[in-house]
Each structure stands twice: as structure tokens, then as C-alpha cells.
Structure 1
Amino acid sequence: MKVISVKFKESGRAYYFDPGTLQPQTGEYVVVETARGVECGEVVRAAHELPSGGAPREIKPVLRMADGVDIRRMRQNRADERAAFRLCEERIAAHKLQMKLVDAEYTLDRNKLVFYFTADNRVDFRDLVKDLAGQFHTRIELRQIGVRDESKMLGGLGVCGQPFCCSRFLKNFQPVSIKMAKEQGLSLNPAKISGACGRLMCCLGYEQKSYEYLNAITPQPGSVVRTPDGEGTVLEANVVSGTLKVRSVESLAPKLYKRSECTYLRGGKRAPIQPDPEED
């Protein structure tokens, strides 16, 4: 299936759309229908084949190529969104609501103005909606989002120096637990394993399956193994490099061995499983 990639914000994620008989090129603008309504976005990748299994459940079609009126309206909407954001912040303060405004978005036809916010608890914003509807004379929607969604919308740089994964390519947030950090041998200091959103970093899940496998085939500290120099006790295990620090019965000085050089005998928290035959 051929699709095009469209962005609606400079720091936002690209979405797939079906170009149909149209042939939009990179840098051109198209009008599409999204969950928020009719939107105008920039084509960041022209028509290309979508890999097998990489298609979302539903790919919506491109409505038409954007003309000069659409592009001017889109740019005007972006400017008006900033003004709407400031006014909404003022009205939130006037109503004394415990909520943090994150973003404001007009649909292309200006039939709806969506405000995104975060809050620790449920917020009764019915009076605020009436107030805003009187100010903007359009349909108002207030949508509460989580702190991860906030980071995804606003974007930024992670501790790795790269743009946030969530705003760059992640489609859905996967569960991340402190157990993953333990299995990967990372510091459990929250400041070192948390992202800008304050939650555990999504990237902890990227290599989790690999770490689970490597931990499973590696003798744990306390295990007794047979080495080329005789029996010894594992003091440390580096699952990534595949090395074991072993202290033998004959010598008090520990020595490094490759995992493949050691045969598990007994002890440790658990016995390791046999590695895959393809592993070196």
C-alpha cells in the first residue's frame, strides 16, 4: 500500500495518509481529515510503500491538495492559537482551576478549538468552557492528557541529546517498570532513569528482551562454575560483554573468563538456560 507522511507541527510526529490518485511531493501541503477534524499538513515524505505489517488499523485518505487559501488559513490559525492559549491561561486563573494548560489547536475550518491540559485530579471546567465559547464563538473542547502526552506534544531533548522518542517516532506508550532498570544493571536513582516527563524513560523497554535473555543464559554471582583453570565462584557477571569474574579455589585473585568458557555446576539464585545455538 502506498502512503505519504504528513506533519502538522514542526516538532510533531508524522502520520500516514492514503494519497489516492494524488501525487503530493515533499514540501507540499495537503488537506486531510483527522480525529480532531479537518487539518492542513506538510508532506514530509512523498508516496512510498508501507512495509508489511507496518500499517495502522485505519489509514485515512487525503481530501485534496492545499491551495493558497488553505495555507494562509493554517498559518493564521497557528498565530491565533498562541493568542487563544494566553487568553485561556488568564481565564483558568480567573476561575481558580488547578490545571496546567499545555497547547491549543484550531481545526482548519475553525469549527473547533481544542485546549489540552494536565491536572493531578479531575477538574470541573464547565464554567470555563462557557466562558471560552463566549470569547471565541466556536466549539470548545478541553482535553485532559497525561504528563507523557505533554512531553510528546511539546517535544524537547532527552538526556541522550536526541529529540524525545515519544515526539519523534513512538506511536503508543508501552509499560515501563523499575524491574527493567534492575535487570539492566542501571542506577535506581530516579533522576538518572526518568525522562523529562518525570516518568521512567521509555527507552528502558527497547533492549529489555535482550537483557532478559542474556541474564537467563549467564551464571549469576554466587554460582559455582568450571573454568579452564578449575572450579571457582562467580563474583561478578557482565551480561553485555559476556564475561564472568571468577575466583578459583586454588587462587584468591579473581580472573575474567568468557561466558562460553565456563560451565555452570551449582549455586546462585538460579541455574542458567542453554544459549541459542546461533550465538557465538
Structure 2
Amino acid sequence: MVAVAFEEAGKSQVYQTNGLEVKVGDQVVAETPRGLELGQVVALARPGPGDPPADEIPLLVRVATRADLRTQFRNRLRAEDAHRTALQKIHEHGLPMKLLATHFTLDGSRIVFFFSAEGRVDFRQLVKDLVSGMRRRIELHQVGARDRAKLSGGIGPCGRECCCTSWLREFAPVSIKMTKEQGLSLNPSKISGACGRLMCCLRYEYETYRKLRAELPKVGSSLKIPEGKVTVLEVGLLTRTLTVEHPELGIFDIPAGRAIEGPSEVCQSCTKPVQCNPEQETDV
């Protein structure tokens, strides 16, 4: 099985190879709910426990031929003309929507218009005008903020092309908790992407930071070091250093490994230090 990604589409879809010899990067023709589409193999896939039965997984039709590639090129030119026509019709009807992209299926039987809007849009008259002028099946597909950025393209705060435009095929949930876990600023302008939502890259290193934080003492916990008992003020996850405060020596940095007996926390009902296993929470 292989995962195939299509133009102006979100998630990649899994197909059976149907006996075809294909590799990552190959152009293939596959049947989709919209009709025949030209896509690219982006990964080799193996059956998983949650996958549907083999007889429910669609088959690839063929490896893309030169004729298919020429057809796709002509479809892109036709899509540009259809896009301009749709823009004109949207303006004539005064519809509160932004047309983002226009796509022809490979067989040319359907045209898909991707748009964004703040709310629901009554585009029934628009569809009638487009059908009468283009003589094809018309589909208008409203997309959210992340897909809008994916279709429009752009540059992220890092100065590089947006991940969703260049390589990211599927959107995974991103939460403010991931930002806090990595000790990043909560300033919206610094953690928001071109789509106005939390940047997808906040998820990339989240698991690493979470594991590192579990291995180190928490801020406010007490430690024993050769100089005596200290309180943790800051934790450097990547450098594995601790900023601690000593009653007599003041504030200074130490390597995390200098703790003699490991992290300890003060019980809320007494003053005895309780040893804390980073891998398991201790009830006191």
C-alpha cells in the first residue's frame, strides 16, 4: 500500500498498488470521490490495526503517463480561466467570500473552487451561473484558517515557507500547553502562524521537552547538593542546568547531576523532604 497526496487536498490517502511497481515520488492516477485525480506517492504504507479491510481500500488506476501529465498541465491553465470567471461572478453577487484556489479533476468532469468565509454563504445562484457557463459539475468547498494558509502560501515567522505549503500534509492539534511546556513567550504575535492559529511547529519538539522536564526537578522543589540544601528557581531543559538559591551562598547555577539524593519536594503538612521519582508521582 502507498499514501498518495493530491493537489489542493489536505490529508494523504492510502491506496493499494494494484500490482503496480511504484516508489515514493512517483506520479500516479487514482480514483477519488471527485473522479480520477493525478497524485504523488508520498510514503509507503503498511496495514495497521485500525485500517479498513483490504477490499475497502481503493486501488491505484495506473502510473501517470506523459499524456496524463500533459492533461494535468492543460487543466491548470483551464483552472486559471475558471478562477477569473468565478472571481467576477462572486463580485457581481456581492458574496462575502474569498476564492483561494480552483482545481480541475484529471478527467475534467468536475471543477472544485476552494474558498474561505467568516460564516455560511448562500452561493446557490453563483453555482447556477458557473454551471451554465462552464458546463461541468461544480463544487464549492469552504476551508478553515489552516487550509486557507496552505492554499494561499506564505512565509512563517521563522522566515521560511510555511510548513503546510511546503511539506506538511496533515494538521495535528496544537495547544497552548505545548507552548508553556517549552517555556516560550505567550505573546500571540510570536506563537501564531500565517493562518492566525498556533504555529504547527510548536508540536515538533513538544515530546522532547516533556520527557526532559520529567527527568529534572520542578521549580520550587528542594535539592541537596554538596553545599547544602537549595531551592530550584529555574530549570534549563536543553542545557540540563538548574538555577538554585542557597540560604547563605545566594543564587547560582549548577548542573542537574550535582544533586546528591535526586529531586525532593517538601510535604505540605510537614517539613520533611520527600524523595521524588521523576518517572512516578509521589503522594505525600
Q: Which residue of 2 aligns with 1:274?
A: 277
Question: How many angstroms apart in 2 are the aligned matches of 1:55 and 1:171?
Answer: 20
Of 246, 253, 257, the match for 1:256: 253
Q: Which residue of 2 aligns with 1:232?
A: 230
**Cα deviation per residue 1:2-45 (whole Å; 9 max; x = unaligned)?**
x3x6554499987654332333578764321123321134x567
Cα 1:217–1:107 shift into 2, 3 Å: same
Secondary structure at the aligned position of 1:108 is classed as coil
Q: Which runs of 5+ in 1 are unaligned?
A: none
- Normalised TM-score (structure 1): 0.81
Secondary structure at the aligned position of 1:60 is classed as coil
Q: Which residue of 1 aligns with 2:197?
A: 199
Q: Which residue of 1 aligns with 2:28?
A: 30
Question: How many angstroms apart in 2 are the aligned matches of 1:69 and 1:114?
Answer: 22
Secondary structure at the aligned position of 1:116 is classed as strand
Question: How many angstroms apart in 2 are the aligned matches of 1:52 and 1:65?
Answer: 22
Q: CA deviation at 1:87?
A: 1.2
- When structure 1 is superposed on structure 2, of 168-177 and 126-135 the one drifting more is 168-177
Of 179, 182, 191, the match for 2:180: 182
Of 125, 128, 143, the match for 1:145: 143
Of 25, 29, 45, the match for 1:50: 45
**Cα deviation per residue 1:214-256 (whole Å; 9 max; x = unaligned)?**
334433333332112111222221122221111212212x222
Q: Which residue of 1 aligns with 2:116?
A: 118
Q: Which residue of 2 aligns with 1:215?
A: 213
Cα 1:150–1:273 shift into 2, 3 Å: farther
Cα 1:239–1:165 shift into 2, 3 Å: same
**Cα deviation per residue 1:178-234 (whole Å; 9 max; x = unaligned)?**
222122110111111111111001121223233333334433333332112111222
**Cα deviation per residue 1:83-135 (whole Å; 9 max; x = unaligned)?**
11111111111111111111111112221111011111111111111111111
Cα 1:26–1:203 shift into 2, 3 Å: closer
Secondary structure at the aligned position of 1:244 is classed as strand
**Cα deviation per residue 1:67-93 (whole Å; 9 max; x = unaligned)?**
454333221110010111111111111
Question: How many angstroms apart in 2 are the aligned matches of 1:51 and 1:18?
Answer: 10
Q: Which runs of 5+ in 2 are unaligned?
A: 269-273
Question: How many angstroms apart in 2 are the aligned matches of 1:261 and 1:28?
Answer: 54
Of 90, 95, 98, the match for 2:96: 98
Q: Is the 8 A contact 2:10 2:147 kept in 1?
A: no
Question: How many angstroms apart in 2 are the aligned matches of 1:40 and 1:221?
Answer: 54
Alignment RMSD (CA, Å): 3.3
Matching residue's letter, 1:174: A
Q: Is the 8 A contact 2:10 2:170 kept in 1?
A: no
Question: How many angstroms apart in 1 are the aligned matches of 2:258 and 2:91?
Answer: 67
Q: Is the 8 A contact 1:222 1:267 kept in 2?
A: no
- When structure 1 is superposed on structure 2, of 110-119 and 237-246 the one drifting more is 237-246
Question: How many angstroms apart in 2 are the aligned matches of 1:167 and 1:151?
Answer: 8
Secondary structure at the aligned position of 2:177 is classed as helix
Q: Which residue of 1 aligns with 2:128?
A: 130
Matching residue's letter, 2:106: L
Question: How many angstroms apart in 2 are the aligned matches of 1:264 and 1:168?
Answer: 43
- Normalised TM-score (structure 2): 0.80
